[in-house]
Structure 1
Amino acid sequence: MGAGAEPDGASRSDEEWERFLRDSVAGAADAPQEPSARAREVAKRLREEPGRAPDGWRSYTPAQPKRRRGWYTVGLLASLVLVLLVLVTLVPGPIANLFAGGLSDSVPLGAETARPTQGPPARAAQRPTMKEPFRGSPAADWANGAAGITVPEARAVGWMGAAEVERALVGSRDFLVASSLDRAVLRGERPEKAIALINPHQKDVQDLLESSFRTPSEKNDPLLLFSRFQPSRTQLVGDVVKTRGRLTYQEGERGALQVTADVTFVYPVTRANADGDDEIVRTIVRRELVMSWDNPAKVITKPGTFSVISYKYEATNGGCDASKGYLDPPFGTDRRTDDAGEKVDPYDRSAPVGRGASSGDGCGKATRS
């Protein structure tokens, strides 16, 4: 096909072809144009993403304005305050206790590593129940059982290396568990495991142990070293005894390891064979026991046992008749109703351990339980 030929074979004159070229250069409205690169890009996107509007050339989408959250936050806080006021009205005890600084039983206080400078803060007065026997007591924040007895890091002392000191510290804690936490011992059974940890060659202590279980008296009282209740009169509530205290140690005589235990035990109890609505009393016992882990080369002893240097205890809500050999919590009309006797805060561990008891004639009066 020659230049300027039409598809059907017709030919144009030289004048018509020259006019066509002039119109093209001059930009006639119907003159053909090459699409731009931008136009080709948009056309391609439209083919690939049907239904999507193309972005404008050199255009931008303005940022969406941020929602104002101020009023929403104020409204939420107001709702929470309203709910809290309703709860205080309906259940004032637990809510007041929360703001009084009380913690849940599942969140115990940190370990006691030194003597505190004051007693624990007051809690809202609440009646203990069978399900919550420590309700309203500072002991609600304490750890359970052996977990509340702080054992320090071991280091070499006297005749013992660090590893031997660690074993002795564990043995000291084991004695406290066996003498004051073992369920059978608390029910009045003989504390065989605890006795086995005491040096069998320490004659004065062995005589005390023998006499105190055979014929208890003020002088020979098993409560000096062991916590026990008479099962015909008293039963423990639940499976938990709350504890707080610590072990400390130093070098003693003849290079011995001298360990001092200062621990408070809180026992929730009720009458024997009581129903679910009976009165619950918390018996609180604080003990200080000094133990000497002697060098067998210098002192007659049995390996793995300690000699007792001294023992002291004080108890509240545990009775005052030492001749019974059992802690004897008062219930009902047996509770002290007057203000006679020295007042004692059984949870205050800031002062040294004394020897006394409350809740009976001739005893101190507990300020809280």
Structure 2
Amino acid sequence: MNSGGEQGGSSVSDEEWERFLRESEEGVRDAPQEPSARARMVTRRLQEEDPQDGNGRGWRTYSPARPRRRTGWYVAGILAALAVVLWVLAPDRVTHLFGAGGVGSAPDATPLGAETAPPTGPPPSTGTLRGTRAEPFRGSPAARWADGAAGISVPAPRATAWMDEAQVAKALDRSRDFLVASSLDREVLRGARPSEAIAYINPKQPREQEFIETSLRSPSEKYDPLVLFSRFDPDRTSLVGDVVKVRGRLSYEEGPGPQHALRVTTDVTYVYPVVAAAGDPDEVTRVIVRRQVVMDWQNPEKVVTKAGTFSVHSNMIHTTNAGCRTHNGFLTPTFDGPGASDGPTADPYDRSAPVVSPERDGECGTATRS
């Protein structure tokens, strides 16, 4: 049988005919047989008739099939290659993208810039993933916040009130140092006395000094040290890792009245990942504290004060998962899930809202996320 279409006036090519004669003479066993006269006559008659069918193709011609374009395979191959590169460069992003939340659910992990002005709204949702020991801020907007003191934005100094620019710069630095000593110091967080932080407060302010000493010695609803200091009971709560996520800012202005103090307002949110000291070591929860402390840096020529210290003008605190109606001087988280509450809901990460205590009128608020 021919392996291709017939192109001449014979059903057997000249090459095959010569091979037939040669191999016949040599007695080859499987030599091709000479076509019969009948076969040659039929072939010639078919060629003399209409050589094409109704579609314009020859009766005996061979039309090879057109190769199909495999565009889909090429695109799939390119996408697969890109996925491999992405996995090598950023495996955590790929895990979030195709993992627990599904495609499109990966939270933005880009670090946030410093907060230099009040935000206009709450941060976007980041899903419902719970924190782990390896990733204590997973599923929290705080994952994008700075670590520790780096999250406290300090404005540029300028001459204000009774201070020149250099004095304002020093007052702002010491204001931030107080926040670090009162809310980020590891020993203070473990329940130690906040001696360094207290040293920044004007010792000539008797009412404030009495409040501090009473709150640390005999905490109560009226005397609560948490309005100034972050502390955990080490027998009940252990911190996870060495990182506290922080976001906030300082601002300043000339204070009212004849004293012309430099008034510094601090508004900072702290996120503490913790576990129970005697419980499930893998059940990580987060305690969120937003604290606003207003400080007056007064002119020692006009007010009895100690140089390098400030007087507390006011303070406010909002806490989440810190123990509602629990006035024992410590942040007291719940580890077995959020309990029922009859109070209003609030987003602890919404820094655009004013600082309001969750225990207004004896009600405990409910956090919309942690």
Give TM-score scaled by structure 1 length: 0.73
Quote the Cα distance in structure 2 between the aligned partners of 1:223 and 1:182: 14
The residue number in structure 2 matching 1:92 is 99
Aligned-pair CA distance for 1:93: 2.6
Residue in structure 1 matched with residue 254 of structure 2 by the alignment: 251
Q: For residues 339 and 197 of structure 1, do their structure 2 counterparts lie closer, same or farther at Cα, with a shift above 3 Å needed? A: closer
1:113 aligned to 101, 104, 116, which one?
116
In structure 2, relative to structure 1, the CA distance for the partners of 1:323 and 1:296 (3 Å cut) is: same
Letter in 1 for 2:330: Y
User: What are the within-5 Å matches in structure 2 for residues 197-212 of structure 1?
Assistant: 197-212=200-215
Tell me, yes or no, if the aligned pair for 2:151 and 2:246 is still in contact at 8 Å. Answer: yes
Q: Which residue of 1 aligns with 2:66?
A: none
Contact 1:262–1:286, Cα closer than 8 Å, also in 2:
yes
1:314, 1:357 → 2: CA distance? 9
Match in the other structure for 1:260: 265
Q: Deviations over 1:269-296 (max 9, x none)?
A: 000045643x111000001110000000
- What amino acid sits opposite 2:273 in the alignment? P
Is the Cα contact below 8 Å between 1:152 and 1:247 reproduced in 2?
A: yes
Cα gap change, 1:89 to 1:273, in 2 (>3 Å): closer
Aligned partner of residue 136 in structure 2, secondary structure: coil
Asked if 1:142 is matched to 2:148, the reply is: no
Name the SS for the 1:332 alignment partner. Answer: coil
Gaps of 5+ in 1: 1-69
The question of whether the paired residues in 1 share the 8 Å contact of 2:253 and 2:262 is answered with yes
Counterparts in 2 of 1:120 and 1:89: CA distance versus 1, 3 Å: closer
Deviation, structure 1 residue 131: 1.0
Matches within 5 A, 1:289-308: 289-308=293-312
CA-CA distance at 1:74 after TM superposition? 4.3
**What is the one-letter code of the residue matched to 1:152?**
P
Question: What residue in structure 2 maps to residue 102 of structure 1?
Answer: 108
Query: Residues 88, 264 of structure 1: CA spacing in aligned structure 2 closer, same or farther, 3 A cutoff?
Result: closer
Q: Distance in 2 between matches of 1:296 and 1:82?
A: 65
Tell me, in whole angstroms, the C-alpha distance in 1 between the residues paired with 2:211 and 2:102: 49
Alignment partner for residue 165 of structure 2, among 120, 145, 162? 162
In structure 2, give the amino acid aligned to 1:92: G
Give the Cα separation in 1 of the matches to 2:83 and 2:239: 41
TM-fit CA distance, 1:133: 0.3
Unaligned stretches of 5+ residues in structure 2? 1-70, 88-93
State the Cα distance separating 1:158 from its structure 2 match. 1.1
Once the two structures are TM-superposed, the CA of residue 100 in structure 1 deviates from its matched residue by 4.5
Given that 2:182 and 2:229 are in contact with CA atoms closer than 8 Å, whether structure 1 keeps it comes out as: yes
Give how far 1:80 is off: 4.7
Q: CA deviation at 1:73?
A: 8.3
Runs of 4+ aligned residues of structure 1 deviating over 3 Å after TM superposition are 70-77, 80-85, 87-91, 98-101, 273-276
Instruction: Name the counterpart of 2:369.
Output: 368
8 Å CA contact 2:273–2:285 kept in 1: the answer is yes
Amino acid at match of 1:351: A
Rate the CA distance shift 1:74–1:109 in 2: closer, same or farther, 3 A: same
After superposition, the Cα gap between the structure-2 partners of 1:120 and 1:241, relative to the gap in structure 1 and judged at 3 Å, is: same
* 1:26-105 aligned within 5 A: 74=75, 77-80=78-81, 91-93=98-100, 99-103=105-109
* Matched letter for residue 146 of structure 2: A
The correspondence for 1:187, drawn from 180, 185, 190, is 190
Q: 1:170 to 1:281 in 2, by over 3 A?
A: same
Paired residues, number? 291
Distance change >3 Å, CA 91–CA 320, structure 1 → 2: same
| 8 Å contact kept, 1:233–1:271 | yes
What TM-score does the superposition give when structure 2 sets the normalisation length? 0.73
**Cα-to-partner distance string for 1:210-245 (whole Å, 9 max, x where unaligned):** 110111111111111111000000000000000000
Amino acid at match of 2:191: G
- Indicate the residue corresponding to 2:43 in structure 1: none
User: 1 CA distance for matches of 2:350 and 2:81?
Assistant: 36
Contact 2:288 2:348 in 1 (8 A): yes
Distance 1:196 1:255 in 2: 23
1:289 partner SS? strand
2:264·2:295 contact (CA, 8 Å) conserved in 1? yes
Label 1:88 to 1:295 Cα distance change in 2 as closer, same or farther (>3 A).
Answer: closer
Q: Quick one: which amino acid aligns to residue 283 of structure 1?
A: V
| Match of residue 66 from structure 1 | none
Counterparts of 1:212 and 1:89, CA distance in 2: 44
* Cα distance, 1:305–1:90 mapped onto 2, change above 3 Å: closer
Kindly tell me: are residues 203 and 315 of structure 1, through their superposed partners in 2, closer, same or farther at Cα, counting changes over 3 Å? same
Q: SS of the residue aligned with 1:78?
A: helix
Give the corresponding residue for 2:343. 341
* TM superposition shift of 1:332: 1.2
